[in-house]
A and B are shown apart, each in its own frame.
Chain A
Amino acid sequence: MSDNKKSIKDIFNLSFYVRLGVIVVVILLAVFLYCFGKQHTVYIDNRTTEIDGVSYRALDWAEVSIDGMDAAEYSPRTRREATVMRQKHTIHVIYEDEDFNQFEVEGEFSIPLNETRVVLSLPAFVAGLGEDKFITEFIPMAQLLGLSTGQESSAEEQITEEEMFGDITMDF
């Protein structure tokens, strides 16, 4: 019967818009949480590097702090990691040249959202290069050299029936 059919007005009523609004808010909240809570590992690298054919020499001595966290000292060929959340960060670098002249550089950088681990080259940063130059994707050395990453040894990891259908002696 036509009386039982819902009209468009009945479907798109106030409660429909309230529900739609709630769904939109929840999706926005999820996006915010993803951006806000995503953890990135920044490998701060003080090694001589070559970018676009130009060589940037490792700093003789540097003290680096990210987002106001405790500063760490760097000598040539040092790499340390900093664990950060969110995309935008500040970096504060105090460094010395070969004549012991001290310089201070402060800057901002942002990590691409989909990258979990990135390398920040200190020589490139203090040389004033762009963010896309001093921040690069982290590729494990073994992978770069085409060596075994140890994954092959664990490739045989099997999932047994016991694991699939429960362990009654598990803790609760």
Chain B
Amino acid sequence: MRRNIKEFNIREFAINNIVPIIFIVLCIICIPLAGYSGQYLVSQIITRIMRNSFLVLSLLIPIMAGMGLNFGMTLGAMAGQIGIIFITAWNVVGIPGLLLAAIIATPIAVLLGWFCGKMLNMAKGREMITSYMISFFMNGVYQLVVLYGMGPVIPIESDQVILPRGYGVRNTIDLINVRQSIDTFWQISIGGINIPILTIIFIALLCVVIIWFRKTKLGQDMRAVGQDMEVAREAGIKVERTRILAIVISTVFAAYGMIIYLSNMGTLNTYNSHSQIGMFSIAALLVGGASVSKASIKNVFLGIILFHLMFILTPQAGMKLMGQAQIGEYFRVFVSYGVITLALVLYEIRTRREKAESAKQLAGLQKEGAKA
């Protein structure tokens, strides 16, 4: 009888999940070293899941469309920040303020996403490095707008936002008026841990939208484009348009994610907040076992839990081991970059191996054909 279920191969499982396994081992080592209580860790993890899920979920759609890890999500983060700057200047507070920030951010994110998608279509096969460079380029444009445009060109008068010289936005903006508005709107306490229900509803909605989106015509088109662009083109799919849409959707979600992130943090570092968001979100996704070509919702949540456990534990573990919390800070930074590097290398090895295997199979078939 033919067996449909593959036999469980420990080696293959370990190779495929090397990154989460490393993180689980590191967390197991660090938990007793850090000495935090279980309640504290759970509370911190919940806070960070609520804060970052939207951002990390925004990365799924470009992966589905075969465009790899969208470092260009930083563009969405910038759009979200612009929305937040405006509502702070206008003194629009609470959830209405955040909704208004989302409305302001949407067209900016669409425009930036469209630009990024256009660029990525010109650099097919090199999407990740291109999107990374685009994010640096757009960072410059963002700073030009925020540092010199806001005030004289874009009228903003608020002392809270504008530097005393009359133009440019302050380094740090206090978001006290919108701080944790979503989280505290409806929350319940279980065992001393606050569970923000409204934020969970937002995140769950996005998960449902992503699952639903995969089944739509556009979602199927994206999967087809992700598997093989030429075959998709032959099938009548508008490949370029589909890829642009994937990036636009991701950028818009990233903008909303950034608004949720900033409202949870309660402070906007105008020139900093967005800069590392892409890097950390991608690292979190990869830690969850995702790859450049495959990612799912479970990777998002597993990744956030493991990555943030490291964030929480390493400074304290470093403090206990070496007497310096800074060691832990450095550790988590190089781990972020290391995880991305490892995932990229593993992806490349796997792709080459698959190519070699398919070439081998083709050669075997040709040999058999020649014999016949």
Contact = CB atoms under 8 A, between A and B. Distances in A.
A33 B163 contact: no
Contacts of A116: 91, 158
B104 A168 contact: no
Contacts of A39: 91-93, 177
Q: From DSSP, what is the main secondary structure of chain B's interface residues?
A: helix
A46 to B, nearest CB: 25
Nearest to B86: A34
Nearest to B104: A30
Nearest to B94: A37
B96 interface: yes
A54 to B, nearest CB: 33
A26 B103 contact: yes
B276 A38 contact: no
Given A172-B277, A172-B280, A163 B271 contact: yes
B168 A155 contact: no
B165 interface: yes
Contacts of A34: 90, 92, 100
A170 B276 contact: yes
A34 B164 CA distance: 25
B103 A29 contact: yes
Interface in A19-53: 26, 29-30, 33-34, 36-40
Nearest to A36: B96
Contacts of B311: 171-172
Q: From DSSP, what is the main secondary structure of chain A's interface residues?
A: mixed
Interface in B304-362: 308, 311, 329, 333
Contacts of A37: 87, 92-97, 99-100
A33 B90 CA distance: 11
Contacts of B94: 37, 85
A157 interface: yes
Contacts of A13: none
A39 B175 CA distance: 13
A168 B91 CA distance: 30
Interface string B273-309: 1011100100010000000000000000000000010
Given A33-B103, A163-B171, A157 B92 contact: no
Nearest to A117: B91
Given A152-B164, A167-B276, A33 B271 contact: no
Interface in B73-108: 87, 90-97, 99-100, 103-104, 106
A39 B88 CA distance: 10
A38 B91 contact: yes
A7 to B, nearest CB: 22
B92 A159 contact: no
A172 B100 contact: no
A38 B90 contact: yes
5 contacts: A34-B100, A39-B91, A116-B158, A151-B164, A167-B276
Given A165-B271, A166-B276, A167-B275, 17 more contacts: A33-B96, A38-B92, A85-B93, A85-B94, A116-B91, A116-B158, A151-B159, A151-B164, A155-B165, A157-B163, A157-B171, A165-B275, A167-B272, A168-B276, A169-B329, A169-B333, A171-B265
A-B residue pairs, 7 tightest by C-beta: A37-B96, A166-B275, A172-B280, A37-B92, A151-B164, A33-B100, A155-B164
